[in-house]
Amino acid sequence: MDRSGLVEAVTRKAAEDGGLTSEQVGRVVDAVFGTVDGAGAIAEALKEGETVTLDAFGSFHHRGGETGLRPGKALDEFVNGQVG
């Protein structure tokens, strides 16, 4: 899934709860993940040595020169077909 696919999917999910426009969702995605022109909130936090934890999703971390994602239990179980 690329950025436009993510924006479209999030817009569909947000519509279930009253809705956001795809333009609004795009701005949020860019603010969280960044763009070619600027870092997002996750990248900025990692650069400052922080770990970014999103309950149920997982945590982004930067250690020993490597940046990665440790999936949360709920995400891992969903992706592996154990729930939902």
In tens, the pLDDT along 15-68 reads 887 788 999 999 999 999 999 899 999 999 999 999 999 998 999 999 999 999
Which helix (H) or strand (E) element contains residue 70?
strand 66-71
Residue 32, C-beta contacts closer than 8 angstroms, at least 6 positions apart? 40, 41, 42
Q: Which of 22, 62, 14, 71 is nearest to 42 (CA)?
A: 62
Whether residue 40 contacts residue 33, with contact meaning beta carbons closer than 8 Å, is answered with yes
Q: State pTM to two decimals.
A: 0.79
Residue 2 predicted with pLDDT over 70 = yes
